Amino acid sequence: MSRLASSLCGIELRNPVLAASGTFAYGLEFAGLVDLAELGGLVVKGLSREPMDGNPPPRIWEAEGGMINSIGLQNIGVRAFVRDKLPALAKIPTAVFANVFGYSTADYVEVVRVLEGEAGLAGYELNVSCPNTQHGGIFFSNDTALLAEVVEAVCRVARRPVIVKLSPNVARIEPLARAAEQAGAAAISLVNTFVALAVDARHRRPRIGAGFGGLSGPAIKPIALRLVYEAARAVSIPVVGLGGIATGEDAAEFLVAGATAVQVGTATFWDPSSPLRVARELERFLKEEKIASVREMVGTLRMKENE
């Protein structure tokens, strides 16, 4: 797959298609379904300082063209991850990223500090779509100062590249993308899910136990593409694009819009091998279009007729 060879903030990738966080467990659970060594990379489920049980059921609702989830960031906690998952993950020759979240800057720093002592990771992805409980519940991802504070603090302790995963639930993405870059992010990824509500009109109840959830899947792709395009023009660090990618051509669209690499999330719910299939389909697309390297496609969208 040499046409697909890519690099992301200094990390060599076999191909630019990664499995997204939260839809690929800790990677190992998919070993019987996918040859993990063939993946461009994988991002594990979000890790917190302590284990978390997550939200009450129902946690998932199938929407038109996508799904709404409110898992509540259930995870085994960073120490159990290091003890029970990382040793086997580290043996897989693919780029493994730890997705990290918290409810204070200190939470993020502590999770990364624990992971810094361990081998087997290519980098970190910070999920900043969480409320900062020490600042009145304001979301890190909605406030440039809070975002800069957490990214700077993590970058001080991290020797590995830090990717900051932005939320789409903002009026303008550019100030947040620039704040992450200036605070030391090696790359940004976007999008996380769109806050959404599914209603059961007969019972006058939300379909999701926690009330609101996050919309993902094909329904969000056009909005994700717009946000990736805007973010890529605002910063000079690489952008990792995701949101509704299910085919090789979807991935190509994100690359053209400005993404250096992409991730596949919800599509793994109906096709667990979709990150690998998307990479193969992308390779076929490159062959058909006579493009020698996937790198040539990045940011080539001609928005206006005369560009």
Ligand X SMILES: Cc1cc2nc3c(=O)[nH]c(=O)nc-3n(C[C@H](O)[C@H](O)[C@H](O)COP(=O)(O)O)c2cc1C
Closest distance of CB 97 from ligand X, Å: 10
Question: Whose Cβ is closer to ligand X: residue 3's or residue 282's?
Answer: 282
Q: Closest-CB residue for ligand X?
A: 22
Q: Return the number of the residue (130 or 294) whose C-beta is nearest ligand X.
A: 130
Catalytic residue status for 130:
yes
Segment (H or E) for 257: helix 248-257
Q: Supply the minimum distance, in Å, between the C-beta of residue 73 and ligand X.
A: 6
- Sequence-distant (≥ 6) Cβ neighbours of residue 301 within 8 angstroms: 229, 256, 257, 258
| Least distance in angstroms from the C-beta of 251 to ligand X | 11
As a dihedral over the C-alpha atoms of residue 219, residue 223, residue 226, residue 227, rounded to 10 degrees, the angle is -120
Find the part of the chain contacting ligand X (CB under 6 A) among 179-187, 197-205, 229-237, 260-268: 260-268
Q: Do 294 and 306 contact (CB within 8 A), yes or no?
A: no
Q: What's the token pair of residue 97?
A: 């990223």
Q: Minimum Å distance from CB 231 to ligand X?
A: 14
Is 46 an interacting residue with respect to ligand X (CB under 6 A)?
yes
Burial class (CB in 10 A: 0-12, 13-18, 19+), 56: exposed
Q: Is the peptide bond before 175 cis (omega within 30 degrees of 0)?
A: no
Which residues in the 238-257 window bind ligand X by CB under 6 A? 242-245
- The site for ligand X, by CB under 6 A, has a size of 25
- Residue among 17, 34, 42, 73 that touches ligand X (CB under 6 A): 73
Find the shortest distance in angstroms from Cβ 186 to ligand X: 16
The position carrying tokens 């790198």 is: 295
**Of the ranges 152-160, 203-211, 213-221, 279-287, which one interacts with ligand X (CB under 6 A)?**
213-221
If binding is defined by CB under 6 A, does position 99 make contact with ligand X? yes
Residues numbered 20-39 forming contacts with ligand X, rule: CB under 6 A: 20-23
Q: Does 55 bind ligand X (CB under 6 A)?
A: no
Give yes or no for residue 123 binding ligand X (CB under 6 A): no
243 close to 266: Cβ distance less than 8 angstroms? no
Residue type, 22: G
Q: How far is the CB of 170 from ligand X (least distance, A)?
A: 15
Name the residue nearer to ligand X (CB basis): 22 or 258: 22
CA distance 74 to 93: 27
Cβ 185 vs Cβ 162: under 8 Å: yes
Contact 254, 262 (CB under 8 A): yes
**Nearest one of 194, 216, 124 to 165, comparing CA atoms:** 124
Stretch that binds ligand X, among 19-27, 86-94, 116-124, 138-146 (CB under 6 A): 19-27
Catalytic residue among 47, 112, 130, 282: 130
The stretch among 77-85, 87-95, 135-143, 236-244 that binds ligand X (CB under 6 A) is 236-244
| Binders of ligand X in range 133-192 (CB under 6 A) | 165, 191-192
Residue 225 in 3-state DSSP?
Answer: helix
Pairing, β 205-206 against β 131-132: unpaired
Output the six-digit token pair for 209: 């136990």
Rounded-to-integer distance, Cα 124 and Cα 126, Å? 6
Binding site residues, ligand X, CB under 6 A: 20-23, 45-46, 69, 71, 73, 99, 127, 165, 191-193, 216-217, 220, 242-245, 264-266
Return the active site residues: 130
